[in-house]
Chain A
Amino acid sequence: MFVTSAYAQETAPAAAEGDTHAGTAVPAAEHEAFPPFDAKTFPSQILWLVITFGLFYLFLKRVVMPRLGGIIDVRNDRITQDLDHAARLKGEADAAVAAYEQELAEAKANANKIGQQASDAAKAEAEGTRKKLEAELEKKLGEAEASIASIKAKAMKEVGTIAEDTTSAIVEALVGGKADKSEIAAAVKSASR
């Protein structure tokens, strides 16, 4: 087989190097072993695997993984921080909106109150004025009625004298001579009753 010749060539220098290893002088039949099952190579492979994998493990554990973990942690922290920040800003914005709305509501209430007050005051004033005017008018009406009554009374009194005068004139014209004043007055009085 080709394998045999190639492998024999490579192992030849090792054999020439010295007789420290008996395995190099084994018969050709053993060289034909399927390489992965060739137990002669096992010690070397195990040793170098342990060395290389051990170093690799230590390097990853001590250097690479803390660094990678750190990078990812820092990023996650940053994202959480940014999210918190955003949440806080949103909270602030919400609070500002709430404060604005409250102020708006307060202002509206104030405006209503002021309007109400103004309208109440205006109503009250108008009522006062009306009452005063009414009172004045009432007084004037009373006065007018009183004056009418007095005028009427005076007029009625005058009507009596006019009737007496007229009666005396009529009596004088009809009867001739003067009639007694007191008689005429009594007559008028009884007639006007």
Chain B
Amino acid sequence: MAAADKVDPIHQFQIHPIIPLHIGGYDVSFTNSSLFMVVTIVLASAFLYMSTASRALIPGRLQSISEMAYEFVGNMLRDAAGKQGMQFFPLVFSLFMFVLVANLIGLFPYFFTVTSHIIVTFTLAILVIGTVVVYGFAKHGFGFLKLFVPHGVPGYLLPLVVAIEVISFVSRPVSLSVRLFANMLAGHITLKVFSGFVVSLSALGAVGIAGSVLPLAMAVALSALELLVAFLQAYVFAVLTCMYLNDALHPSH
């Protein structure tokens, strides 16, 4: 890797094929992104599996973490969508764990951040909205469309309100995916830019090294912030998923 590449904040988002693969004219190579998806699920699965292997009545630290995550997501879903919503617990839990672990792994230097690509977050968002739409229609039939017709709205306002509701529903997958993607992307670019300053300034000699203390402190602070953002965005993604699933269960406002 060229020295100059280290200062380029966009380089970290590039995707390189590791095992080239083409099916039906599409490039479906196993890339560094795919590799980190695999790393994400292997790490998350291994952690959840091994920490609970002893099935201890009094949990150890690792088992406590797994249980906390499980109960955290479970309570979140129960609060948002009620007892009926618990049938989506595996989906919400997998989404939360996947996004959380992907975000956290991305914080390591030289590691790829799966969630910093809009197509990944958008696919996850489509999965959520797709579940909502399919389940909503399967459960309520056309009654699901009541979602777009709030109660107690005067007749002359109804077309406007319905239009707004439809737009807000359609924009959900976009907002859900862009929120996560943009947070991860912006955070990693900022982190890279400040770290790049440290490298560039240090190359300028003694004065530069002294001056690089400032961006270094900034990079440390940003790392802490990014850790928070990694948790927060996984949480936000899971909470919004719960709320959308609640709409599928109870379409009437």
Q: Which of B1, B28, B70, B117 contacts A47 (CB 8 A)?
A: B28
Contacts of A55 in B (CB 8 A): 41
* Alpha-carbon gap, A60 to B45, bound state (A): 7
Residue among B1, B94, B116, B185 making CB contact with A53, cutoff 8 Å? B94
Q: Chain A, 51-82, contact with B by CB distance < 8 Å: what is the 0/1 string?
A: 01101110111011101111110110010000
Chain A residues near B97 (CB-CB < 8 A): 56, 60
CA distance A78 to B55 in the complex (A): 14
Count of inter-chain pairs, beta carbons less than 8 A: 155
The answer, among B14, B31, B63, B94, for a CB contact under 8 Å with A60, is B94
- Interface range on chain B (Cβ under 8 Å from partner): 35 or more
Interface of B is mostly: helix
Partner of B31, one of A20, A48, A56, A71: A48
CB pair A71 B119 closer than 8 Å: no
Per the CB 8 Å criterion, the residue count for chain A at the interface is 48
State in angstroms the CA–CA spacing of A23 and B70 once bound together: 44
Q: Given the complex, which residues of A lie within 8 Å of B124, measured CB to CB?
A: 49, 53
List, in ascending order, chain B residues with CB within 8 A of A65's CB. Answer: 70, 89-90, 93
Q: Which residues of B contact A46 (CB under 8 A)?
A: 119, 123
Expressed in whole angstroms, the minimum distance between the Cβ of A130 and any Cβ of chain B is: 81
Within the complex, which residue of A40, A41, A61, A78 is in contact with B94, where a contact is CB–CB below 8 Å? A61
Contacts known (A44-B33, A56-B44, A60-B45); A49 close to B52, Cβ less than 8 A: no
Q: Is A36 an interface residue (CB 8 A)?
A: yes
Known: A41-B33, A56-B98, A60-B93. 14 other contacts (CB 8 A): A3-B11, A14-B20, A21-B27, A35-B10, A36-B117, A36-B185, A41-B119, A44-B15, A48-B31, A49-B114, A49-B123, A52-B37, A52-B38, A68-B67
